[in-house]
Amino acid sequence: MSGFNPGSGQSTSERVGHATFVLVSLLLAIFFLMPIVWSVANSFKPAAEALAHPVALFSKAFSLENYRRLEDVGAGWYVYAGNSVLIALGTILLTVGVSVPAGYGFSKFRFPGQSLIFVVVMATMMIPFQSILTPLFLILKFLGLQNNLLGLVLVYTTFQLPFSIFMMRNAFDAIPGALIEAARIDGASQWTLMRRIMMPLALPGVATVAMFAFLNSWNEFLAALIFLSDQDKFTLPIMLVNVSSGIYGIIDWGALQAGITVTMVPCILLFLTLQRYYVRGLTAGAVK
For 230-260, write each residue's pLDDT tens digit: 888 999 998 888 776 655 567 778 888 888 8
Tell me the average pLDDT across 178-191.
Answer: 80
Residues with Cβ within 8 Å of 166's Cβ and at least 6 positions away in sequence, in order, are 103, 122
Tell me the average pLDDT across 71-79.
Answer: 80
**pTM of structure:** 0.83
Question: DSSP string covering 177-226, please?
Answer: HHHHHHHHHTT--HHHIIIIIIHHHTHHHHHHHHHHHHHHHHH--HHHHH
Q: Is the CATH number 1.10.3720.10 carried by domain 68-282?
A: yes
32 CB burial (10 A radius; 0-12, 13-18, 19+): exposed
